[in-house]
Amino acid sequence: MVEKFRVGVVAGTHGIRGDVKIFPTTDEPARFKKLKYVYIDDVRGKTVRVALSHVRLQDKFVIAHLEGYETPEDSRLIRNHDLLIDRADALPLEEGEYYVPDLIGMKVVTDEGEDLGTLTDVIETGANDVYEVSCADGSQVLIPKIPQCILSVDVEQQNMTVHLLAGLRD
């Protein structure tokens, strides 16, 4: 299982004190206000732990200060870098919910025993998520995350059992 999760991407600088504008990749952007630190790949490509402070929400972005990035010039160096957190700092899950990084790469089989392929993406839609499965023949199958289709998920064993409703393969 993945030990660190991406919660945002540095979109650019903000102001003259080195603050950064973060595009959140989490469902709860307000969670940044509770975080004390994040991990980021620095300019040398080394993942470092950085204190997070002065967090505020602005439109669809989070504005924050990262320790060690004190000028706009410093902060420009980490533009487009991912911000990560430890699994222990991730939001708790409800029954039947999974962290997306734990699902990617999972083996998918049908309830009829057919090896369907590998889960390669989770697409968020308004109603429910959709799982994208890449099949061995190069095709892709989109499976809605609904109880009629997703029969079981075993994160530890990295496999999922699905029922394909009529028309999902077409």
At residue 41, the pLDDT reads 86
At residue 95, the pLDDT reads 84
Residue 43 has pLDDT above 80, yes or no: no
Taking Cα atoms as reference points, which of 101, 111, 106, 119 lies closest to residue 149?
Answer: 111
The whole-number average pLDDT for the span 4-17 is 94
CB 32 within 8 A of CB 102: no
- In a domain, residue 170? The reply is no
Give the residue from 56, 89, 122 where a domain finishes. Answer: 89
Q: What is the pLDDT of residues 65-102, one digit of tens each?
A: 999 999 999 999 999 999 999 999 988 888 878 888 99
Question: How many domains is the chain built from?
Answer: 2
Are residues 85 and 154 located together in one domain of the fold? no
CB 13 within 8 A of CB 70: no
Look up residue 102 and give its two tokens. 């734990």
Are residues 39 and 63 located together in one domain of the fold? yes
- In a domain, residue 94? The reply is no
Q: Is the pTM of this model over 0.85?
A: no
CB 20 within 8 A of CB 94: no
Are residues 77 and 111 located together in one domain of the fold? no
Are residues 81 and 115 located together in one domain of the fold? no
Are residues 84 and 120 located together in one domain of the fold? no
Q: What is the distance between the alpha carbons of residues 18 and 76, in angstroms, rounded to a whole number?
A: 9
Per-residue confidence at 30, pLDDT binned at 50, 70, 90? very high
Higher pLDDT, 95 or 23: 23
DSSP 8-class letter at 126: S
- In a domain, residue 96? The reply is no
CATH number of the domain within which 122 lies: 2.30.30.240
- In a domain, residue 130? The reply is yes
Are residues 45 and 122 located together in one domain of the fold? no
Residue 1 has pLDDT above 80, yes or no: no
Distance of CA 95 to the CA centre of its chain: 18
- In a domain, residue 118? The reply is yes
- In a domain, residue 95? The reply is no
Are residues 72 and 35 located together in one domain of the fold? yes
Give the residue from 33, 68, 89 where a domain finishes. Answer: 89
User: Which domain, by its residues, includes 41?
Assistant: 4-89
Dihedral-angle region of residue 147 (phi above 0 means left; psi in -120 to 50 means alpha; beta otherwise) = alpha
The whole-number average pLDDT for the span 21-43 is 91
Are residues 79 and 28 located together in one domain of the fold? yes
> Helices H, strands E: what count in the chain?
2, 12
The helix/strand/coil state of 148 is coil
At residue 137, the pLDDT reads 92
Q: What is the distance between the alpha carbons of residues 92 and 110, in angstroms, rounded to a whole number?
A: 29
Name 43's bridge partners.
Answer: none
Q: What is the distance between the alpha carbons of residues 2 and 40, in angstroms, rounded to a whole number?
A: 16
Q: What is the pLDDT of residues 112-167, one digit of tens each?
A: 999 999 999 999 887 889 999 999 899 999 999 999 999 999 999 999 999 999 88
Are residues 47 and 113 located together in one domain of the fold? no
